[in-house]
Protein backbone atom coordinates (compact mmCIF):
# COMPACT_ATOMS: atom_id res chain seq x y z
CA UNK A 1 0.00 0.00 0.00
CA UNK A 2 1.37 3.42 -0.95
CA UNK A 3 1.64 6.28 1.52
CA UNK A 4 -1.26 8.04 -0.19
CA UNK A 5 -3.43 4.93 -0.02
CA UNK A 6 -2.61 4.56 3.66
CA UNK A 7 -3.63 8.18 4.36
CA UNK A 8 -6.90 7.78 2.46
CA UNK A 9 -7.67 4.52 4.27
CA UNK A 10 -7.00 6.08 7.68
CA UNK A 11 -9.36 8.93 6.83
CA UNK A 12 -12.17 6.59 5.79
CA UNK A 13 -12.00 6.86 2.00
CA UNK A 14 -12.12 4.04 -0.50
CA UNK A 15 -15.03 2.04 0.87
CA UNK A 16 -16.63 -0.52 -1.41
CA UNK A 17 -19.49 0.62 -3.65
CA UNK A 18 -20.77 -2.67 -5.10
CA UNK A 19 -22.47 -2.37 -8.51
CA UNK A 20 -26.19 -3.13 -8.45
CA UNK A 21 -28.45 -3.99 -11.38
CA UNK A 22 -30.00 -2.59 -13.48
CA UNK A 23 -26.99 -1.32 -15.42
CA UNK A 24 -26.48 1.36 -18.05
CA UNK A 25 -23.50 2.35 -20.19
CA UNK A 26 -22.29 5.92 -20.72
CA UNK A 27 -19.65 6.54 -23.41
CA UNK A 28 -18.16 10.01 -23.04
CA UNK A 29 -16.81 11.96 -26.02
CA UNK A 30 -15.28 9.21 -28.12
CA UNK A 31 -15.33 11.53 -31.11
CA UNK A 32 -12.78 12.05 -33.88
CA UNK A 33 -11.23 15.12 -32.30
CA UNK A 34 -10.32 13.20 -29.17
CA UNK A 35 -9.07 10.21 -31.14
CA UNK A 36 -6.58 12.43 -33.02
CA UNK A 37 -3.29 13.23 -31.22
CA UNK A 38 -2.98 16.25 -33.51
CA UNK A 39 -6.22 17.68 -32.18
CA UNK A 40 -7.33 16.80 -28.62
CA UNK A 41 -6.16 13.19 -28.38
CA UNK A 42 -3.03 11.25 -27.52
CA UNK A 43 -1.97 9.15 -24.55
CA UNK A 44 -4.02 5.99 -24.15
CA UNK A 45 -7.23 7.24 -25.78
CA UNK A 46 -6.78 5.05 -28.88
CA UNK A 47 -6.48 1.79 -26.93
CA UNK A 48 -9.44 2.82 -24.76
CA UNK A 49 -11.58 3.26 -27.88
CA UNK A 50 -10.65 -0.22 -29.09
CA UNK A 51 -11.38 -1.77 -25.70
CA UNK A 52 -14.78 -0.05 -25.58
CA UNK A 53 -15.87 -1.79 -28.79
CA UNK A 54 -16.30 -5.06 -26.91
CA UNK A 55 -17.99 -3.36 -23.97
CA UNK A 56 -20.50 -1.67 -26.25
CA UNK A 57 -21.25 -4.91 -28.07
CA UNK A 58 -21.93 -6.69 -24.79
CA UNK A 59 -24.07 -3.84 -23.48
CA UNK A 60 -26.22 -4.06 -26.61
CA UNK A 61 -26.49 -7.83 -26.34
CA UNK A 62 -27.61 -7.52 -22.73
CA UNK A 63 -30.18 -4.83 -23.41
CA UNK A 64 -28.69 -2.09 -21.24
CA UNK A 65 -29.60 1.56 -21.79
CA UNK A 66 -26.71 3.19 -23.64
CA UNK A 67 -25.87 6.89 -23.92
CA UNK A 68 -23.15 8.58 -25.97
CA UNK A 69 -21.91 12.16 -25.65
CA UNK A 70 -20.33 14.48 -28.18
CA UNK A 71 -19.04 18.03 -27.84
CA UNK A 72 -20.90 20.36 -30.22
CA UNK A 73 -20.81 24.17 -30.29
CA UNK A 74 -22.99 26.41 -32.43
CA UNK A 75 -21.45 27.43 -35.73
CA UNK A 76 -21.36 31.08 -34.61
CA UNK A 77 -19.94 30.21 -31.16
CA UNK A 78 -22.87 31.90 -29.41
CA UNK A 79 -22.96 29.13 -26.79
CA UNK A 80 -19.28 29.58 -25.87
CA UNK A 81 -18.78 29.33 -22.10
CA UNK A 82 -16.07 29.53 -19.45
CA UNK A 83 -14.66 26.19 -20.57
CA UNK A 84 -14.21 27.68 -24.05
CA UNK A 85 -12.30 30.60 -22.50
CA UNK A 86 -9.88 28.13 -20.92
CA UNK A 87 -9.66 25.98 -24.09
CA UNK A 88 -10.58 28.20 -27.09
CA UNK A 89 -9.66 25.46 -29.57
CA UNK A 90 -12.66 23.42 -28.35
CA UNK A 91 -14.89 25.81 -30.34
CA UNK A 92 -13.69 24.05 -33.49
CA UNK A 93 -16.10 21.22 -32.59
CA UNK A 94 -19.09 22.50 -34.57
CA UNK A 95 -22.09 20.47 -35.69
CA UNK A 96 -20.66 19.38 -39.05
CA UNK A 97 -16.96 19.39 -38.11
CA UNK A 98 -15.15 16.11 -38.56
CA UNK A 99 -13.75 16.40 -35.05
CA UNK A 100 -17.16 16.40 -33.40
CA UNK A 101 -18.40 13.21 -35.10
CA UNK A 102 -18.35 9.87 -33.31
CA UNK A 103 -15.43 7.60 -34.09
CA UNK A 104 -16.38 4.95 -36.67
CA UNK A 105 -15.87 2.08 -34.21
CA UNK A 106 -18.47 3.40 -31.73
CA UNK A 107 -21.35 4.79 -33.75
CA UNK A 108 -24.65 5.04 -31.82
CA UNK A 109 -27.47 2.71 -32.80
CA UNK A 110 -31.22 3.32 -32.86
CA UNK A 111 -32.67 3.66 -29.38
CA UNK A 112 -29.42 4.90 -27.82
CA UNK A 113 -29.31 8.42 -26.40
CA UNK A 114 -26.99 11.02 -27.93
CA UNK A 115 -26.15 13.87 -25.56
CA UNK A 116 -24.81 17.03 -27.16
CA UNK A 117 -22.80 19.02 -24.67
CA UNK A 118 -20.65 22.12 -24.22
CA UNK A 119 -19.64 21.42 -20.62
CA UNK A 120 -17.41 18.68 -19.22
CA UNK A 121 -20.16 16.73 -17.47
CA UNK A 122 -22.58 14.61 -19.52
CA UNK A 123 -25.25 15.43 -16.93
CA UNK A 124 -24.94 19.21 -16.69
CA UNK A 125 -27.82 20.89 -18.53
CA UNK A 126 -28.88 17.65 -20.22
CA UNK A 127 -31.70 15.10 -19.96
CA UNK A 128 -29.33 12.24 -19.17
CA UNK A 129 -30.20 11.75 -15.49
CA UNK A 130 -33.92 11.60 -16.20
CA UNK A 131 -33.40 9.31 -19.18
CA UNK A 132 -31.39 6.86 -17.08
CA UNK A 133 -33.85 7.01 -14.19
CA UNK A 134 -36.79 6.36 -16.50
CA UNK A 135 -35.05 3.19 -17.62
CA UNK A 136 -34.43 2.08 -14.05
CA UNK A 137 -30.63 2.30 -14.03
CA UNK A 138 -28.89 2.01 -10.66
CA UNK A 139 -25.30 1.52 -11.85
CA UNK A 140 -23.72 3.53 -14.67
CA UNK A 141 -20.68 2.03 -16.37
CA UNK A 142 -18.52 4.86 -17.72
CA UNK A 143 -16.16 4.70 -20.70
CA UNK A 144 -14.70 7.58 -22.69
CA UNK A 145 -12.29 10.46 -22.47
CA UNK A 146 -10.65 12.26 -21.00
CA UNK A 147 -10.23 10.52 -17.65
CA UNK A 148 -9.16 13.74 -15.95
CA UNK A 149 -11.80 15.91 -17.63
CA UNK A 150 -15.18 14.91 -18.99
CA UNK A 151 -15.08 11.36 -17.60
CA UNK A 152 -14.32 12.60 -14.11
CA UNK A 153 -16.95 15.35 -14.29
CA UNK A 154 -19.56 12.86 -15.50
CA UNK A 155 -18.66 10.34 -12.79
CA UNK A 156 -18.98 12.95 -10.06
CA UNK A 157 -22.35 14.09 -11.39
CA UNK A 158 -23.57 10.49 -11.78
CA UNK A 159 -22.82 9.98 -8.09
CA UNK A 160 -24.53 13.26 -7.20
CA UNK A 161 -27.66 12.08 -9.03
CA UNK A 162 -27.72 8.88 -6.98
CA UNK A 163 -26.28 6.46 -9.52
CA UNK A 164 -23.45 4.06 -8.67
CA UNK A 165 -20.62 4.88 -11.08
CA UNK A 166 -18.27 2.19 -12.34
CA UNK A 167 -15.25 3.52 -14.22
CA UNK A 168 -14.19 0.87 -16.73
CA UNK A 169 -10.49 1.50 -16.38
CA UNK A 170 -9.25 0.14 -19.72
CA UNK A 171 -12.12 1.85 -21.56
CA UNK A 172 -11.22 5.38 -20.42
CA UNK A 173 -8.27 7.36 -21.70
CA UNK A 174 -6.40 10.62 -21.40
CA UNK A 175 -3.81 12.53 -23.39
CA UNK A 176 -1.74 12.57 -20.17
CA UNK A 177 -1.02 9.20 -18.60
CA UNK A 178 -0.05 10.69 -15.20
CA UNK A 179 -3.37 12.60 -15.17
CA UNK A 180 -5.16 9.38 -16.16
CA UNK A 181 -3.64 7.41 -13.30
CA UNK A 182 -4.08 10.15 -10.70
CA UNK A 183 -7.73 10.65 -11.56
CA UNK A 184 -8.48 6.94 -11.55
CA UNK A 185 -7.01 6.73 -8.07
CA UNK A 186 -8.99 9.72 -6.83
CA UNK A 187 -12.30 8.57 -8.35
CA UNK A 188 -11.78 5.14 -6.85
CA UNK A 189 -11.24 6.64 -3.42
CA UNK A 190 -14.18 9.06 -3.48
CA UNK A 191 -16.81 8.55 -6.15
CA UNK A 192 -16.76 5.27 -8.05
CA UNK A 193 -15.84 1.63 -8.37
CA UNK A 194 -12.89 0.86 -10.65
CA UNK A 195 -13.11 -2.30 -12.76
CA UNK A 196 -11.58 -3.48 -16.02
CA UNK A 197 -13.84 -4.42 -18.92
CA UNK A 198 -13.32 -8.12 -18.30
CA UNK A 199 -14.03 -7.73 -14.59
CA UNK A 200 -17.26 -5.92 -15.41
CA UNK A 201 -18.44 -8.49 -17.91
CA UNK A 202 -17.41 -11.37 -15.67
CA UNK A 203 -19.52 -10.35 -12.70
CA UNK A 204 -22.12 -13.01 -11.97
CA UNK A 205 -25.04 -10.63 -11.38
CA UNK A 206 -24.35 -8.54 -14.46
CA UNK A 207 -25.54 -11.24 -16.86
CA UNK A 208 -29.07 -11.54 -18.13
CA UNK A 209 -29.97 -7.98 -19.15
CA UNK A 210 -31.63 -5.96 -16.38
CA UNK A 211 -32.45 -8.77 -13.96
Instruction: Give residue 210's pLDDT band: very low, low, confident or very high (50, 70, 90).
Output: very low
Residues 125 and 111: their CA atoms lie apart, in Å, by: 21
- Domain span at residue 91 reads 3-9+20-205
Say how many domains are in the chain. 1
8 A C-beta contact, residue 58 and residue 124 = no
The CATH number of the domain holding residue 162 is: 3.40.50.850
Condensed to tens digits (0 to 9), the pLDDT of residues 11-51 reads 999 999 999 999 999 999 999 999 999 999 999 999 999 99
Q: Is residue 76 part of a domain?
A: yes
Q: Which residues are registered as beta bridge partners of 102?
A: 31
Q: Is residue 78 part of a domain?
A: yes
Q: What's the pTM?
A: 0.95
Residue 86 CA, chain-centre distance (Å), reads 21
Catalytic residues: 150
Amino acid sequence: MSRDEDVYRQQGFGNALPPEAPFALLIVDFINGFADPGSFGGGNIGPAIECTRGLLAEARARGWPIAHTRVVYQDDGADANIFALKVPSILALKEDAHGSQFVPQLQPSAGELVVRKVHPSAFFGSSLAGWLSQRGAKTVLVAGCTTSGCVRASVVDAMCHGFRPVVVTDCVGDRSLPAHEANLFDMGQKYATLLTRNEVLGMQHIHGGQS
